[in-house]
Structures are given as structure tokens and as C-alpha cells.
A and B are shown apart, each in its own frame.
Chain A
């Protein structure tokens, strides 16, 4: 949604804030994957747990690392690195699973996302949000809500709903 506003934005005054930016503003949970920093809307985050045993599921899509037992419920866990086609790395003590709520059909389901480490919750205001870039990046732009300039760093705001919607294509 932020994508098509690119050209318009470039010609506008920086001070004026678009509606898309306003929509994206809010609190984000920031985390690290490799060398990049990402953000997930805090309202979607249900909890963060340390890395537990993940049972692989045979014949599942490759970015599905497996399933875990979350207090009696079994939820699938996806490997963001695989989604972004980054190399896999070994887990460290900082590796966590972020459990998010995403919509599926007319329900909400829980999915775990493996991240290298979790940083902090940031309040991201509308002005510092840029729309997703159209060029470059090995990340499909439909997975990105936008980019936020925080101090010197850029946080990539993820569209976790769209990422997880790819999950629902079973491999059979």
C-alpha cells in the first residue's frame, strides 16, 4: 500500500505527513536479523519466548522450521531468514521466537517467528517513515510496510500478515 505513493511523496514537502505514514505510525518491536534491523507492529506481537525445541514437520514449506508446544498449543514456527533468502546461521543465546497473531481466513492464528535477537519497543512517528523502496533489496516489497529512519539506523517495518499468508499454501 505504501508502494505506489513513492513518486508522490518525493515531490511533497517533508513536513507534510501522508495518510499512509500516519497509518504506519505506532509502536514497533524491533529485532535483528543478520546485519539488518526490522520492526513488527507491537499490537501483533503476542509474546516472545526463548528458543525452544522445534519439531520439524516433514514436507512442510522450506521456511517453516517446524512446530513448537506453546503451553499445550501447537503452533508453527517460520524462519525469517529463509523467507528473505538469507543464509542460515546457528542459534545463539539471543535467538528468540516471537509469537505473532496473524489473520487467516476469518480467524486469527498464532505463528512463531525465529529472529536473531530482539532489541526494543520503539515509538515510531509518522514523519520518519518512508515508503518501501521499489528498487533493490532481495526482499519482496510486498512484505514491507515501510522504512523508518531512527537516528542513524533504518528499521525495516515488516508486513507480517503478508509474510505469513504465504505459509498457508500447503505442500501436498
Chain B
């Protein structure tokens, strides 16, 4: 064993130092692996030997094809070496098998129909049609079962490289390395997202070759890594889909109709399965997945040509260079890879020897192909050789980063978006560290302004303070930008949703994106996803007319249009969803609201207030609760989510022409633009987002209602007045309206005036929670450290308005 470990270490260092410019290097490496494989066989480590053989094959074919994906192969090999090290080291299960019986050596009688030399790894042709079905039947059982069912259908063929006992092994999913697993999960999800994009592209343009290639590569990668982890179902599904795409790019299958649908379904299923990995080891395949695989196989076989049979027999043969070639030429049918079979390098199909997990595709293809030119993040200690080999392998591949775009930035913990759209090399940074950095910079900003205030007079005119101020400001902006990512990915997901919803509702809808490069804080991006989904769904489901004919009848184009726009404005990011559908029916809204008891018949509402009725919980005018929406849950959730981000949402609509729902969210959650006001000896901060204007009033402008409420006339509109001093029980506040200032704020389409003593100014604040225990207080959004070091209370406009409404402003009518 020591010999092996030594050799593994050597191999690892060779891989690390690999010089791809050296012409002879790949061949030399191949030879080393070959020798290594022999050693392993000699020392009776058949599994590892198979892996090594597979590596040899991979290398050979890489050389043969001109070394295009050499980097990829090297990375794969590094991973394989690492995993082998782990498995061989004392303490790691050397053979990683689940014996079917209790004894170490799997007992031969488990596989009655076994033939000498038949290893499930052989993947002989006969398994072609059966295994899929077979396994599904046994799906309820353990991984061991499918193997059993396979055995009888196995035909002997080809020369085994493995002892007959091997056959009965079934490898359990490798779940013991959570870091590796979570990397797999996030990378796979990225691949799947990219795949979604490409599928959408293909739907519009079935000839889009680049997309086909990208799809193939993505699935190929997922398959590879899945097999490395012994994730059988994922591997199988990925494999079938990959074959399908392969046929498509050979021109034997066109990407439309059922093919398209199945492709989307595959992406969805894989996504679900990969996400399920977060919970723990995967369960057996579900029926849906089996069906999907069956369908995929059918489609793939449908376009199969005669070459199949020949390549089939050749695959039975030795495990040499045939490998992936055979999988290319033939289709999924000849290399069925029953998910349960030991993913050890089926020599025949030789798809994914365990030594070949592929961490990231080196895709120079289009859109958001993430390239992690990742310097192994220092926070991941680990300190295993795997990290170093991986890191250096990645480093060597970093040079090929073509368009590492925001997608990588989005998925990795953080990204350093270095200016221009060209070479962006994201770096993985521990999120906690990033947060700490941002916080500390925030503190610096405060300390600097306190210092400036204190030293102000004395140091006025000196450059040093000014200089420091400038630098601090810059630091602050930089730190804010650290977490900024483009909104593109979120928008892309919307594209998919529009398509799905439109299809379900039998409508034709065109989806247009604008401003997808607009950047915002990652935390905001994460939280804005769900609200956007609701809004977009609503737009398609309710906004757009029920059928293309309905549209032509009123003179519109058949295809409805949903437009998603994002842009920066005054320190916020604005996101608008515009549809050219029916628009909001005011009368229906009012009627429904009266029905629900939200308003009474006599209430007079402005047009904007009527439109905002849709944000009320439980409010929906959809005639039936459709599967998509109509339950009336969507819009109020949207409003709540957006408001929790300290944003706001509005709606504008013209009947017959369409509606626009716009969300405004501050660029970053940490900083707020606020107006400082005094009420008595207290200071409050009103978020500028909500402030419309401020003005003085005289007592003539006030009207009283029922001797309780006060109202002000603002541009021919009566607006309620709330006295902050009363609401917050501040004793020494100004009481005469003409001695104070009214700040007009807006919330949910309604305006209210807040009476304060003075307005001190406007500035940016770092918002901080008010200290646990005080967070639930109504009307208070948080605290901020003022320039003089004291705490200022930030008001939550919604809460304040609610307080005002509930409070009885009885005797505060001194004028």
C-alpha cells in the first residue's frame, strides 16, 4: 500500500507541475498511468486499477484528438488521484464497496447468472434495452438490487479485466466529503442554468450549433462528476440527455417539439435531483425519472443508425481506446450504463472512469459560461493534496478564461468585478470574511466622519483630512461593489418561466429583457427572485389576453410581449415588468374590494389607490384559482418581500393596453439615504425613498375631521397629517403647525404628512439593527450611527402610518 501511496504522490506532483507546452509530456504521463494501473492490478486493487486504466484511455484519446481538452483531463486526473489517495489511505474504505452479504468478499451466489468475466462494468449490448426498465421496477430497493436484476440479462462477452467477484459489487454514493459535494451541487446547478439558456436559444433557433455543443458539454460534465460520486440516477439521466444532444448535433435529431420538451424536463429533473443532494444521499429513482429516461432513450434510438451494432460489439471488447469514441458513435442504447452498475470504468463504454470527475467545463461558448479561475480559497483549509492539485490545475486553465461573466460571480461566494466587460476573473472568497470586511469599512466611514466633525474647526483647510475623506469614500464604494452582481441570471430564469407559463396557458408570449447588466447587491438579488417570479407569472397569466385570437380581435399582435427592465436611478435599482395585455380593470377591482370588505361603497379612492388594491392579501380577481396563480397569494407576498428589502412596489396600468409593475429597491441593504429630522430633543431619520417633499404650513391649511384627524390640503388633495411628537410621546416637540415642517411621505399609493420640528439634512447612513429585542417595534426600521456618534432611529414609514391611523390624536390640536 505504501508503494501505491508513494506513486500517487508522485503522480499528483507530476500533475501539478505539468507543462502543457512540453510535447512529450502527455505521452509520458500516459505511460506513468499505465504503469500505475499495472501496479494496482498486481497489488490487487482492481477498482483503482480500472480507474487508472480509464485515465490511460482518456489521456490517449485526448492526445489523439490534438490535446484540445487536455486541461480538463488533467483536472479530472487530479481529482481522481486525490480520491484514490483518500480511498487507499488507512481509514478509507479501501475498496469502497457494499458487499451484498456481510462478508468482505461479495458472495458469488448473489449473481446466479454470472458468467465468468462478465462484469456489470462490461456493459454488453444485451443490457441495452433492459436495464432502464428493469431498474425502475426495482427502484424501491437498495442500490444492490438493480445489479441483481441486471445479472441475468447480462451476456458474457469480452475479456474481463476484473475478477468475477467484482461484479457483485455495488458502489454506494460517495457522500463523505461535504465540501466536494457542495461544489458539485453548485457547479451542476450552474451548468443546468446555462443549459436552460441554451435550450431557450435553440427553441427560437434550432440550428444554433454553439448551444448544442454547450449543452452536450454541460451534461457530459455533470455525468462525469456524478459517476465519480456514484450518483447513479443522476448519471444515467445525464447520460441519456447527453446522448440526445449528441445526436442533435450530428443532425440526426432536430431540437423541437418533444425533443425540446424532454430536454427541458431533463434539466428540471436533474436540478431537482441535484438539489436533493443537499439533504443527503440520493434515494432511488422516481417513476417520473424512469419515464423520462425511457423517453430519452426512445428518442435517441429513433435516430440511431446501423453503426450501432458494430460499435456495440467493439465496445464489448477490450477497454482500450474505444472508450468515449464508442459513446459518441453509438448512442445511449449500446452503452446503457445502468445506473447501479459500478461506475468503475466500464471498459467498454468507458465513459466515466471514476478517475474522471470534471470540475468545470472549459467552455468558450457564449453566455454565462462560468470559468472559475479560482485560486483555491484560503478559507477552505482542508489541506489535502486534492486542493493543491486542483488549485494548480485550475490555475493553468485560468488563462483560457474568455468570458467569465457575472454568472460566475453570482454563484461563487463573491466576485471581484474588475471593471470592463472583458477579463473578469472571479475569486472565491469566504462570505463571512467579506461581510466582516464590509462591516469594518462601514465602521471606518463612521469613525472618519466623527473625527472630521470633532477636528473640523481645527483642521479646516488642511489637506490631510480631505484626503482621508476621499479615500474613505472610495473604500466605501468599493466595498459596496464587492457584492454587486448583474441581474442577468435572475432575468434568464424569468425567460424560462414565461415560456412555461405561456405554454401551459396556451398563449404566445414574447419575452424581452433590458438592462440585464445592471448590478445589485447579491443579497438583494437572492431575495428579489421570488417576487419577480410572481410578477412575471401574473403578467403572463392574467395580463396577457387569454388567447392570441382575443388579441387580434382588439387589433393587437398575436404574440403578447412581456418586457423586463432594470436600471439605476437615484441610488436605487428599478425593475419593471411591463406587459401589453389587458390592463387592470378598475371597476372589477373596486367591486372585488367591496366584496371582500376592504373598502366600503362610499370610499373614494384615487386611481393609484385602486390599482394598489391588488397588493392586498387574499385579493384576486381571477375567476378560478388556476394552477399558476389566482390564489391571490402572489402580489401581497411580493409587496412584503420587496418591503423587507426596504423597497417599494407600484403599479401603473392602462386598460386595454397593458400594465407595468415596478419595483424599487435600494442598491444595497446596508446603506440608506435618509432625511434627518428633529422632534423635540429626539432625532429621527426618514428614508428618502419614501419622502416626496417637505414644506411649511400655516394653520389655515389644516382641516380637521371629526375633531380628531387633521388633514392638509396639498395641491388640491386632502392628505392626513400625523404628528410625530405625539406618536412617539416626545415631550418638548413643537406643537403649532406653523412652527414646524411637514414632510410629505408616500406609502402604498397613499400620501401622509408628518409634522416634525426641523429638517436637518439628508445623508447616507449605515443601517444597523436596533439591537435584538427591539426589532419588533412598529414604526422603527433600525438604527444608524450619526456623525456625532450618537444613535439615530430610522423610521419605518409604513409602521408610522399605521401607528398614526390607530392612535387617537385627541387633543393635540393646538394651533
Contacts and interface: CB of A to CB of B under 8 A. Distances in A.
Interface of A: 53, 55-60, 64, 66-69, 71-76, 104, 107, 109-111, 164, 167-168, 170-172
B443 interface: yes
Interface string B568-602: 00000000000000000000000000000000000
Contacts of B777: 57-60, 170-172
Nearest to B769: A74
Contact of B446 (A60, A66, A72, A109): A72
B774 interface: yes
Interface in B738-789: 768-780, 783, 785, 789
B682 interface: yes
Contacts of A64: 774
B791 A74 contact: yes
Interface stretch (B379-387, B521-529, B709-717, B722-730): B722-730
B791 A68 contact: yes
B793 A69 contact: no
Given A72-B443, A74-B783, A59 B728 contact: yes
A171 B780 CA distance: 11
A143 to B, nearest CB: 17
A109 B772 CA distance: 7
B793 A58 contact: yes
Contacts of B447: 72
Interface of B: 439, 442-443, 446-447, 682-683, 727-730, 768-780, 783, 785, 789-793, 803
A64 B775 CA distance: 13
A60 B594 CA distance: 37
Contacts of A60: 774, 777
Contacts of A68: 791
Given A72-B443, A74-B768, A74-B791, A67 B779 contact: no
A71 B793 contact: no
A172 B774 CA distance: 10
B770 A172 contact: no
Given A57-B770, A58-B730, A71-B443, A170 B791 contact: no
B728 A55 contact: no
Given A58-B730, A170-B777, A171-B777, A104 B771 contact: no
A76 B774 contact: yes
Nearest to A73: B768
A67 B791 contact: yes
| 10 A-B pairs with the lowest CB-CB distances in the bound complex, closest first | A170-B776, A58-B728, A76-B771, A72-B443, A55-B791, A172-B778, A74-B783, A109-B772, A167-B773, A168-B773
B715 to A, nearest CB: 30
Contacts of B682: 55-56, 58
A110 B791 CA distance: 16
A113 B442 CA distance: 26
B778 A53 contact: no
A69 B439 CA distance: 15
Instruction: Determine which residue in B779, B783, B793 has the highest number of CB atoms from chain A within 10 A of its CB, and name it.
Output: B783
A66 B770 CA distance: 10
18 contacts: A55-B682, A55-B783, A55-B791, A57-B777, A59-B729, A69-B790, A72-B439, A72-B442, A76-B770, A76-B773, A104-B772, A104-B773, A164-B773, A167-B773, A170-B773, A172-B776, A172-B777, A172-B778
A97 to B, nearest CB: 13
A107 B773 CA distance: 12
Contacts of B768: 72-74
B779 A58 contact: yes
Contacts of B793: 55, 57-58, 67
A59 B446 CA distance: 27
Contacts of B803: 59
A59 to B, nearest CB: 6
B100 to A, nearest CB: 44
Given A58-B779, A64-B774, A109-B773, A69 B728 contact: no
Given A55-B790, A55-B793, A67 B774 contact: yes
B808 to A, nearest CB: 15
B785 A168 contact: no
A170 B789 contact: no
Contacts of A74: 768-771, 783, 785, 791
B722 to A, nearest CB: 13
Nearest to B445: A72
A58 B730 CA distance: 8
Contacts of B443: 71-72
A58 B727 contact: yes
B730 A67 contact: no
Contacts of A71: 443
A111 B778 contact: no
Nearest to B444: A72
Contact of A67 (B442, B729, B771, B776): B771
Nearest to B450: A69
B785 A69 contact: yes
A172 B796 CA distance: 13
A170 B791 CA distance: 19
Contacts of B780: 57-59
Contacts of B776: 170, 172
Contacts of A55: 682-683, 783, 790-793
B790 A53 contact: yes
B774 A57 contact: yes
B566 to A, nearest CB: 32
Contacts of A73: 768
Nearest to A67: B791
Nearest to A166: B773
A105 to B, nearest CB: 9
Contacts of A72: 439, 442-443, 446-447, 768, 785
A43 to B, nearest CB: 20
A67 B793 CA distance: 9
A27 to B, nearest CB: 26
A72 B766 CA distance: 10
Contact of B773 (A56, A59, A66, A111): A111
Given A57-B780, A69-B785, A69-B790, A109 B771 contact: yes
B770 A67 contact: yes
A170 B773 CA distance: 7
B187 to A, nearest CB: 32
A111 B773 CA distance: 10
Contacts of B779: 58-59
Contacts of B439: 72
A170 B442 contact: no
A71 B793 CA distance: 17
A107 B730 CA distance: 33
A162 to B, nearest CB: 14
A72 B682 CA distance: 20
A171 B792 CA distance: 19
A60 B773 CA distance: 10
A64 B773 CA distance: 10
A115 B793 CA distance: 24
Contacts of B789: 53, 69
Nearest to A172: B778
A53 B774 CA distance: 18
Contacts of A66: 791
A97 B770 CA distance: 17
A167 B729 CA distance: 20
Nearest to B774: A76
A168 B777 CA distance: 10
Contacts of A111: 771, 773
B331 to A, nearest CB: 54
Instruction: Determine which residue in B774, B778, B780 has the highest number of CB atoms from chain A within 10 A of its CB, and name it.
Output: B774
Contacts of A75: 771
A109 to B, nearest CB: 4
A55 B789 CA distance: 11
A74 B442 CA distance: 13
